[in-house]
Chain A
């Protein structure tokens, strides 16, 4: 036990004290901040290109009124198109918009013409189409003598409010799904990254011990299993440290930079509005939604989710790190040669990641349920489902199976590891790895 502790301490301290660790731990939040600032600046930059557009409204469809946009100005002109085109360079216009007469009131199709020496950009094009659509609509309403109020009433907004069957159940609001999906996805991604980064770290470190020939010295003092377990625990502690630091630093850095660079909520709103489908949310609705989201976030059962998340972190990490350790022990001096051995481990991780994405959209599908019990997938899939409050039996089954399998895989990998670290100069196949499990000590 004392020796295991010594090994864990060394594995942890040598990594944490390394300059590369400190740099990576501190630079990642900075990278986030830079990303955040750059994205913010990009969105602020979007529309500084001022455009002036002349409109020739042949049938007075728009009735000389159209709304200007930021950096986009319209002007109705009574000049002939030919004249305008001929003297285009003398006028200070970027484009000429020709609105022809509406010939058929009942036609759904209508074409306007844009003359310019430049292609219209996508945002200008869609903006013009939207403005003209509104104008033509008003024109048709007037021409057909319809009642605008009645027409407005035809467009009904439908909201879906989830309600529990029995009264004691939790009242989920319409945002619960979205919030749970966000948190679930984030957790799943963190798990995926953790398994890969730190699992690989264990593998590399096992290989280094083997190629630097320190390993035989070590195992003349401690059992191979102690050495492997000590390494896995030590690197796992490094992972926890790094994730914990990021969990504090990244939000802090993002907050500070957004204050310093003045990326206030309105520009964030702009970012949100820039994404398709979000355009029809007005600012008041958005504010209410944010408040609701925070409330939803707080109402999640964090006392259950956080410990479970840590459990899946540890379970998944132990399971995969031990497999990576076994593979590392089988690799020789040549990294490339052994690379194919890692494929059987990386495939389930990648599969689990895709299942996780599907599970967020359909958290109670049978794929999601069984994947969150199968131990090679559950560390990534189950954390993503936790926010959707899955049934208790599923959580219990998943926890029991994962705990058992982690212990089993650590033991199994130990059996491969003890043989692998002493094998030199031989190309190892998967079949041989299997044989090693049954070697006697």
Chain B
């Protein structure tokens, strides 16, 4: 009975992957000359998720993104966008903000956005409507006739963001979106990303800044030297890499012989971090403390940060 149920659930899972992925990469290989940039990467981006594409510099992130955005083609492997093989109509459904981004300096803001929107397949009227909407949203309606070169860098980045989303893409790819942004603009863009996420837009967020990933992403894939090292939900990955560490804030004196039951990682006045060898042992430990008259204020499991996991994984490979 249990076997049949399991069998059925596997089929169900497989079918749900096909339907629920906005993007699926299968065994992508890309070489330049003799240099292997991407070496058999596979992952799925769930529809409507904020997905982190992580990796150190030179890991192959940009090469992968260029394949997804149809700028280049993979040597082997398949890319499906919403269940369809990548084709020449897909760029209109993707919004891409490259890490290396710029604008035509001599153009006026309005005509520049109009140009980029029309290249994404919008009609002139649609494009105007959308651009006006976004300029109003950012309270910069009066920039239409300003030349790009008159804008500050931060102002230009707002325009770049609008250019990325103006055609209402299904999939948004942001490569280091916050690099060079001041805190005010970072928050502004973050809010917009969340708003788009709530509207159901799938977002790929590529970066090597882990604290941003933890804040924003639900799923991640970690790439190093052209291969994927780690993939899954942020929470699952953290659980997978936890080391049964607990931080205990207490009052009173710790019973002797604590170190026989657990490793003490860090100790300070009224606070101690310890590591147990098995997950269940934490309960025993707590019990032991209470029985010995220690007054426990807080008992927290410490999950590793993505940064730790990232560094550990990258070093290991």
Contact = CB atoms under 8 A, between A and B. Distances in A.
Interface stretch (B44-52, B93-101, B229-237, B269-277): B93-101
A424 B91 contact: no
Contacts of A424: 100
A259 to B, nearest CB: 40
A217 B173 CA distance: 12
Interface string B100-132: 111111110000000110111000000000000
Contacts of B100: 213, 216, 424
Nearest to A423: B32
A213 B72 contact: no
A217 B163 contact: yes
Given A212-B104, A222-B119, A217 B73 contact: no
A217 B116 contact: yes
A209 B98 CA distance: 14
A301 interface: no
A358 to B, nearest CB: 42
A10 B66 contact: no
B75 interface: yes
B72 A441 contact: yes
Contacts of A224: 71
A440 B116 contact: no
B225 to A, nearest CB: 20
B118 A6 contact: yes
Nearest to A218: B119
A65 interface: no
A217 B99 CA distance: 10
Contacts of A221: 91-92, 116, 119-120
A422 interface: yes
A3 interface: yes
Contact of A422 (B66, B105, B160): B66
Contacts of A7: 119
Contacts of B104: 14, 209, 212, 214
Interface string A354-373: 00000000000000000000
A219 B105 contact: no
A212 B101 CA distance: 8
Nearest to B160: A217
Contacts of A217: 96-98, 101-103, 116, 160, 163
A18 B107 CA distance: 10
Contacts of A223: 88
B206 interface: no
Given A217-B163, A221-B116, A212 B71 contact: no
Given A10-B115, A221-B91, A424-B100, A216 B71 contact: yes
B31 to A, nearest CB: 8
A220 B96 contact: yes
A220 B103 contact: no
Interface string B272-307: 000000000000000000000000000000000000
A213 B102 contact: yes
Given A216-B71, A217-B163, A3 B119 contact: yes
A237 to B, nearest CB: 17
Contacts of A212: 102-105
B69 interface: yes
B33 interface: yes
Given A14-B106, A14-B107, A213 B119 contact: no
Given A6-B115, A6-B118, A221-B91, A216 B98 contact: yes
Given A3-B119, A422-B66, A220 B72 contact: no
B110 to A, nearest CB: 13
Contacts of A422: 66, 71
Contacts of B33: 435, 439
Contacts of A10: 115
A121 B101 CA distance: 67
A216 B63 CA distance: 12
A422 B104 CA distance: 17
Interface in A406-441: 422, 424, 435, 439-441
Contacts of A18: 106
A402 to B, nearest CB: 31
A396 to B, nearest CB: 38
Contacts of B73: 440-441
Nearest to A209: B104
Contacts of B119: 3, 6-7, 218, 221-222
Interface string B67-95: 00111110100000000000010011010
A223 B96 CA distance: 15
Contacts of A435: 33
Contact of B101 (A3, A6, A216, A219): A216
Contacts of B98: 213, 216-217, 220
Contacts of B116: 217, 221
B119 to A, nearest CB: 4
A220 B102 contact: no
Contact of B91 (A209, A220, A440, A441): A220
A7, A216, A219 pick with most chain B CB within 10 angstroms: A216
A209 B102 CA distance: 9
A385 B305 CA distance: 76
A50 to B, nearest CB: 58
A338 B253 CA distance: 73
Interface string B119-154: 110000000000000000000000000000000000
A220 B100 CA distance: 13
A221 B72 CA distance: 12
Interface string A152-166: 000000000000000
B100, B118, B119 pick with most chain A CB within 10 angstroms: B119
A220 B119 CA distance: 10
A62 to B, nearest CB: 74
A222 to B, nearest CB: 6
A223 B90 CA distance: 12
Nearest to B65: A220
Contacts of B163: 217
A24 to B, nearest CB: 16
A14 B114 CA distance: 14
Interface in A276-308: none
Interface string A203-239: 0000001001110111111111000000000000000
Interface of B: 32-33, 66, 69-73, 75, 88, 91-92, 94, 96-98, 100-107, 115-116, 118-120, 160, 163
20 contacts: A6-B115, A6-B119, A7-B119, A10-B115, A212-B102, A212-B103, A213-B100, A214-B101, A214-B103, A217-B97, A217-B116, A217-B160, A220-B71, A221-B92, A221-B116, A221-B119, A222-B91, A224-B71, A439-B33, A441-B72
Interface of A: 3, 6-7, 10, 14, 18, 209, 212-214, 216-224, 422, 424, 435, 439-441
Closest 3 CB pairs of A and B: A213-B102, A212-B102, A221-B119
